[in-house]
Amino acid sequence: MISETTFLCAGPLTGHRGRRLVLDAVETGPLPGGTITALLGANGSGKSTLLRAIAGLFPVQGPVWLGPHDLGAMRAPERAKYCAYMPQTLPPPIHIQAMETILISMQAGGTRANDHAFKTAESVLACLGISDLALRFLDELSGGQRQLVGLAQALARSPALLLLDEPLSALDLRHQFEVMRMLRRETEARNMITVIVLHDLTMALRRTDAAVMLSTGRVIARGAVEDVITPAGLSQAFGVQARIERSTQGDPVVLVDGVSDVL
Protein backbone atom coordinates (compact mmCIF):
# COMPACT_ATOMS: atom_id res chain seq x y z
CA MET A 1 0.00 0.00 0.00
CA ILE A 2 1.28 3.47 -0.82
CA SER A 3 0.18 6.74 0.71
CA GLU A 4 -2.70 8.70 -0.74
CA THR A 5 -0.38 11.39 -1.96
CA THR A 6 1.91 9.04 -3.89
CA PHE A 7 2.18 9.69 -7.61
CA LEU A 8 3.79 7.94 -10.53
CA CYS A 9 5.88 10.45 -12.46
CA ALA A 10 7.44 8.93 -15.55
CA GLY A 11 9.30 10.94 -18.10
CA PRO A 12 10.20 12.53 -20.26
CA LEU A 13 11.24 9.08 -21.51
CA THR A 14 13.15 8.56 -24.70
CA GLY A 15 13.95 5.15 -26.16
CA HIS A 16 15.18 3.53 -29.37
CA ARG A 17 14.76 0.16 -31.01
CA GLY A 18 17.84 -0.14 -33.12
CA ARG A 19 18.17 3.27 -34.73
CA ARG A 20 14.46 3.97 -34.67
CA LEU A 21 13.14 6.43 -32.07
CA VAL A 22 10.14 4.65 -30.49
CA LEU A 23 9.57 6.86 -27.43
CA ASP A 24 10.12 10.55 -27.99
CA ALA A 25 10.24 12.44 -24.69
CA VAL A 26 7.06 10.74 -23.51
CA GLU A 27 5.62 12.06 -20.26
CA THR A 28 2.99 10.37 -18.14
CA GLY A 29 1.74 11.63 -14.87
CA PRO A 30 1.71 12.64 -12.22
CA LEU A 31 -0.69 9.71 -11.79
CA PRO A 32 -2.12 9.51 -8.27
CA GLY A 33 -2.74 6.39 -6.17
CA GLY A 34 -6.25 4.96 -6.47
CA THR A 35 -6.62 5.79 -10.16
CA ILE A 36 -6.67 3.90 -13.47
CA THR A 37 -4.91 5.39 -16.49
CA ALA A 38 -5.37 4.08 -20.04
CA LEU A 39 -2.56 4.04 -22.60
CA LEU A 40 -4.18 4.51 -26.01
CA GLY A 41 -3.07 4.76 -29.61
CA ALA A 42 -2.84 2.98 -32.93
CA ASN A 43 -0.86 -0.20 -33.54
CA GLY A 44 2.84 0.49 -33.24
CA SER A 45 2.33 3.86 -31.50
CA GLY A 46 4.46 2.82 -28.51
CA LYS A 47 1.99 1.75 -25.80
CA SER A 48 3.65 -1.57 -24.94
CA THR A 49 7.09 -0.03 -25.16
CA LEU A 50 6.07 2.70 -22.72
CA LEU A 51 4.53 0.21 -20.30
CA ARG A 52 7.67 -1.94 -20.46
CA ALA A 53 9.82 1.13 -19.91
CA ILE A 54 7.89 2.00 -16.76
CA ALA A 55 8.26 -1.63 -15.62
CA GLY A 56 12.01 -1.41 -16.20
CA LEU A 57 11.93 -3.99 -19.01
CA PHE A 58 12.83 -1.66 -21.87
CA PRO A 59 15.85 0.64 -21.55
CA VAL A 60 15.05 4.33 -21.80
CA GLN A 61 16.57 7.64 -20.93
CA GLY A 62 14.57 9.55 -18.36
CA PRO A 63 13.25 9.27 -14.83
CA VAL A 64 10.56 6.99 -13.38
CA TRP A 65 9.57 7.95 -9.86
CA LEU A 66 6.98 6.32 -7.65
CA GLY A 67 6.50 8.79 -4.83
CA PRO A 68 9.95 9.07 -3.21
CA HIS A 69 11.20 5.88 -4.90
CA ASP A 70 13.49 6.25 -7.88
CA LEU A 71 12.37 3.16 -9.83
CA GLY A 72 14.71 4.02 -12.66
CA ALA A 73 17.73 3.58 -10.37
CA MET A 74 16.58 0.20 -8.99
CA ARG A 75 17.72 -3.20 -10.13
CA ALA A 76 15.02 -5.56 -11.40
CA PRO A 77 14.42 -7.58 -8.18
CA GLU A 78 13.94 -4.40 -6.12
CA ARG A 79 11.75 -2.76 -8.75
CA ALA A 80 9.60 -5.91 -8.85
CA LYS A 81 8.60 -5.26 -5.23
CA TYR A 82 6.86 -2.08 -6.32
CA CYS A 83 5.41 -2.95 -9.69
CA ALA A 84 3.75 -5.91 -11.32
CA TYR A 85 3.65 -6.10 -15.10
CA MET A 86 1.39 -8.28 -17.20
CA PRO A 87 2.56 -8.61 -20.82
CA GLN A 88 0.40 -8.57 -23.92
CA THR A 89 1.18 -12.23 -24.59
CA LEU A 90 -0.79 -14.80 -22.62
CA PRO A 91 0.97 -16.93 -19.99
CA PRO A 92 2.50 -19.83 -21.95
CA PRO A 93 0.57 -23.11 -21.95
CA ILE A 94 3.01 -25.04 -19.77
CA HIS A 95 2.25 -28.00 -17.53
CA ILE A 96 2.12 -26.12 -14.22
CA GLN A 97 -0.92 -25.58 -12.03
CA ALA A 98 -2.39 -22.07 -11.99
CA MET A 99 -1.92 -21.75 -8.22
CA GLU A 100 1.76 -22.65 -8.52
CA THR A 101 2.34 -19.99 -11.19
CA ILE A 102 0.74 -17.39 -8.92
CA LEU A 103 2.97 -18.37 -5.99
CA ILE A 104 6.04 -18.23 -8.25
CA SER A 105 5.01 -14.75 -9.39
CA MET A 106 4.58 -13.66 -5.77
CA GLN A 107 8.07 -14.96 -4.96
CA ALA A 108 9.46 -12.90 -7.84
CA GLY A 109 7.88 -9.87 -6.14
CA GLY A 110 9.64 -10.69 -2.88
CA THR A 111 6.85 -12.61 -1.08
CA ARG A 112 7.71 -15.93 0.58
CA ALA A 113 5.61 -18.91 -0.50
CA ASN A 114 3.97 -19.64 2.85
CA ASP A 115 0.40 -20.11 4.15
CA HIS A 116 -0.26 -16.39 4.00
CA ALA A 117 0.84 -16.25 0.34
CA PHE A 118 -1.37 -19.23 -0.42
CA LYS A 119 -4.37 -17.48 1.16
CA THR A 120 -3.63 -14.29 -0.76
CA ALA A 121 -3.47 -16.27 -4.01
CA GLU A 122 -6.75 -17.98 -3.14
CA SER A 123 -8.47 -14.68 -2.45
CA VAL A 124 -7.24 -13.16 -5.74
CA LEU A 125 -8.52 -16.17 -7.67
CA ALA A 126 -11.87 -15.78 -5.88
CA CYS A 127 -11.88 -12.05 -6.62
CA LEU A 128 -11.50 -12.87 -10.34
CA GLY A 129 -14.17 -15.58 -10.11
CA ILE A 130 -11.73 -18.34 -11.11
CA SER A 131 -11.24 -20.33 -7.88
CA ASP A 132 -12.11 -23.43 -9.87
CA LEU A 133 -8.96 -22.97 -11.98
CA ALA A 134 -6.51 -23.08 -9.02
CA LEU A 135 -5.42 -26.68 -9.53
CA ARG A 136 -5.83 -26.79 -13.30
CA PHE A 137 -2.72 -26.92 -15.50
CA LEU A 138 -2.03 -23.93 -17.76
CA ASP A 139 -1.65 -26.18 -20.81
CA GLU A 140 -5.21 -27.37 -20.21
CA LEU A 141 -6.80 -23.91 -20.05
CA SER A 142 -8.37 -21.77 -22.75
CA GLY A 143 -6.69 -18.53 -23.85
CA GLY A 144 -9.12 -16.38 -21.85
CA GLN A 145 -8.66 -18.53 -18.75
CA ARG A 146 -4.88 -18.18 -19.05
CA GLN A 147 -5.29 -14.43 -19.34
CA LEU A 148 -7.28 -14.39 -16.10
CA VAL A 149 -4.55 -16.46 -14.42
CA GLY A 150 -2.00 -13.92 -15.72
CA LEU A 151 -4.02 -11.15 -14.09
CA ALA A 152 -4.13 -13.14 -10.86
CA GLN A 153 -0.34 -13.47 -10.99
CA ALA A 154 0.03 -9.70 -11.20
CA LEU A 155 -2.62 -8.82 -8.61
CA ALA A 156 -1.45 -11.37 -6.04
CA ARG A 157 1.81 -9.48 -5.72
CA SER A 158 -0.13 -6.56 -4.18
CA PRO A 159 1.91 -4.04 -6.17
CA ALA A 160 1.87 -0.30 -5.63
CA LEU A 161 1.99 0.01 -9.42
CA LEU A 162 0.00 -2.38 -11.63
CA LEU A 163 0.93 -2.38 -15.32
CA LEU A 164 -1.37 -4.34 -17.65
CA ASP A 165 -0.88 -4.70 -21.40
CA GLU A 166 -4.24 -5.40 -23.09
CA PRO A 167 -5.56 -7.53 -20.22
CA LEU A 168 -8.99 -7.87 -21.85
CA SER A 169 -7.85 -9.06 -25.28
CA ALA A 170 -8.81 -12.72 -24.82
CA LEU A 171 -11.84 -12.23 -22.55
CA ASP A 172 -15.53 -12.57 -23.34
CA LEU A 173 -17.85 -9.59 -22.87
CA ARG A 174 -18.90 -10.40 -19.33
CA HIS A 175 -15.36 -11.09 -18.14
CA GLN A 176 -14.18 -7.81 -19.68
CA PHE A 177 -16.66 -5.86 -17.56
CA GLU A 178 -16.03 -7.97 -14.47
CA VAL A 179 -12.26 -7.48 -14.75
CA MET A 180 -12.65 -3.71 -15.14
CA ARG A 181 -15.01 -3.60 -12.15
CA MET A 182 -12.56 -5.65 -10.09
CA LEU A 183 -9.66 -3.40 -11.16
CA ARG A 184 -11.60 -0.33 -10.06
CA ARG A 185 -12.41 -1.87 -6.70
CA GLU A 186 -8.87 -3.12 -6.04
CA THR A 187 -7.20 0.04 -7.34
CA GLU A 188 -9.22 2.16 -4.92
CA ALA A 189 -9.07 -0.25 -1.96
CA ARG A 190 -5.28 -0.71 -2.22
CA ASN A 191 -4.61 2.83 -3.41
CA MET A 192 -2.74 1.32 -6.35
CA ILE A 193 -1.70 3.16 -9.47
CA THR A 194 -3.06 1.10 -12.36
CA VAL A 195 -1.88 1.71 -15.93
CA ILE A 196 -3.57 -0.30 -18.63
CA VAL A 197 -3.17 -0.56 -22.41
CA LEU A 198 -6.61 -0.68 -24.00
CA HIS A 199 -7.92 -0.79 -27.55
CA ASP A 200 -11.59 -0.57 -26.52
CA LEU A 201 -12.12 3.19 -26.35
CA THR A 202 -15.67 2.98 -25.03
CA MET A 203 -14.38 0.82 -22.18
CA ALA A 204 -11.59 3.33 -21.55
CA LEU A 205 -14.10 6.21 -21.44
CA ARG A 206 -16.38 4.40 -19.02
CA ARG A 207 -13.92 2.65 -16.75
CA THR A 208 -10.71 4.66 -16.50
CA ASP A 209 -9.92 8.03 -14.95
CA ALA A 210 -7.15 9.38 -17.14
CA ALA A 211 -5.56 8.59 -20.47
CA VAL A 212 -2.38 9.08 -22.44
CA MET A 213 -2.79 9.03 -26.22
CA LEU A 214 0.30 8.09 -28.23
CA SER A 215 1.08 8.48 -31.90
CA THR A 216 4.38 7.29 -33.41
CA GLY A 217 6.11 7.37 -30.04
CA ARG A 218 4.87 10.81 -29.01
CA VAL A 219 2.18 11.92 -26.58
CA ILE A 220 -0.53 13.73 -28.49
CA ALA A 221 -2.92 14.15 -25.56
CA ARG A 222 -3.04 13.33 -21.88
CA GLY A 223 -5.28 14.18 -18.96
CA ALA A 224 -8.82 13.28 -17.88
CA VAL A 225 -10.02 10.45 -20.13
CA GLU A 226 -12.97 12.45 -21.50
CA ASP A 227 -10.59 15.23 -22.54
CA VAL A 228 -8.32 12.76 -24.36
CA ILE A 229 -10.89 10.62 -26.18
CA THR A 230 -12.45 13.29 -28.38
CA PRO A 231 -13.33 13.34 -32.10
CA ALA A 232 -10.24 15.44 -32.78
CA GLY A 233 -8.01 13.14 -30.73
CA LEU A 234 -9.38 10.02 -32.43
CA SER A 235 -8.88 11.58 -35.83
CA GLN A 236 -5.27 12.44 -35.04
CA ALA A 237 -4.40 9.12 -33.37
CA PHE A 238 -6.33 6.62 -35.46
CA GLY A 239 -7.29 8.45 -38.63
CA VAL A 240 -11.01 7.87 -38.09
CA GLN A 241 -14.05 10.12 -38.15
CA ALA A 242 -15.65 9.41 -34.80
CA ARG A 243 -18.27 10.74 -32.42
CA ILE A 244 -18.79 10.38 -28.69
CA GLU A 245 -22.49 9.74 -28.09
CA ARG A 246 -24.47 8.80 -24.98
CA SER A 247 -26.35 5.55 -24.48
CA THR A 248 -29.95 5.73 -23.26
CA GLN A 249 -28.49 5.23 -19.78
CA GLY A 250 -26.19 8.21 -20.19
CA ASP A 251 -22.93 6.29 -20.65
CA PRO A 252 -20.46 7.45 -23.32
CA VAL A 253 -20.10 5.39 -26.50
CA VAL A 254 -17.49 5.87 -29.23
CA LEU A 255 -19.01 5.60 -32.70
CA VAL A 256 -16.87 5.51 -35.82
CA ASP A 257 -18.46 6.87 -39.00
CA GLY A 258 -15.54 6.26 -41.30
CA VAL A 259 -11.84 6.54 -41.86
CA SER A 260 -10.03 9.70 -42.86
CA ASP A 261 -8.29 9.78 -46.23
CA VAL A 262 -5.02 10.81 -44.62
CA LEU A 263 -3.70 9.77 -41.22
Ligand X SMILES: Nc1ncnc2c1ncn2[C@@H]1O[C@H](COP(=O)(O)OP(=O)(O)OP(=O)(O)O)[C@@H](O)[C@H]1O
| Interface pick for ligand X out of 43, 75, 94, 258 (rule CB under 6 A) | 43
To the nearest whole angstrom, how small is the minimum distance from the Cβ of residue 37 to ligand X?
15
Tell me the C-alpha distance between 45 and 61, whole Å. 18
Choices 42-50, 60-68, 125-133, 144-152 (CB under 6 A): range interacting with ligand X: 42-50
The DSSP element (H or E) to which 196 belongs, if any, is strand 193-197
- Helices 143-155 and 98-108, packing angle to 10 deg: 30
| Interface pick for ligand X out of 13, 22, 53, 237 (rule CB under 6 A) | 22
- Residue 133 or 165: which CB sits closer to ligand X? 165
Choices 45-53, 62-70, 135-143, 184-192 (CB under 6 A): range interacting with ligand X: 45-53
To the nearest whole angstrom, how small is the minimum distance from the Cβ of residue 11 to ligand X?
15
Output the CA–CA distances (angstroms, integers) from residue 73 to 14, 56, 63, 108, in the order listed: 16, 10, 9, 19
Q: 26 and 50 in contact (C-beta within 8 Å)?
A: yes
- Residue 51 or 156: which CB sits closer to ligand X? 51
Does residue 97 sit in helix, strand or coil?
Answer: strand
Q: 163 and 124 in contact (C-beta within 8 Å)?
A: no
Closest Cα to residue 154, out of 167, 141, 171, 173? 167
Q: Does 48 bind ligand X (CB under 6 A)?
A: yes
Tell me the C-alpha distance between 9 and 6, whole Å. 10
To the nearest whole angstrom, how small is the minimum distance from the Cβ of residue 47 to ligand X?
4
Q: Does 17 bind ligand X (CB under 6 A)?
A: yes
| Interface pick for ligand X out of 34, 41, 67, 150 (rule CB under 6 A) | 41
Q: Does 30 bind ligand X (CB under 6 A)?
A: no
Q: Does 45 bind ligand X (CB under 6 A)?
A: yes
Closest Cα to residue 157, out of 116, 102, 196? 102
| Interface pick for ligand X out of 44, 77, 92, 110 (rule CB under 6 A) | 44
- Residue 53 or 99: which CB sits closer to ligand X? 53
Positions that interact with ligand X (CB under 6 A)? 17, 22, 41, 43-49
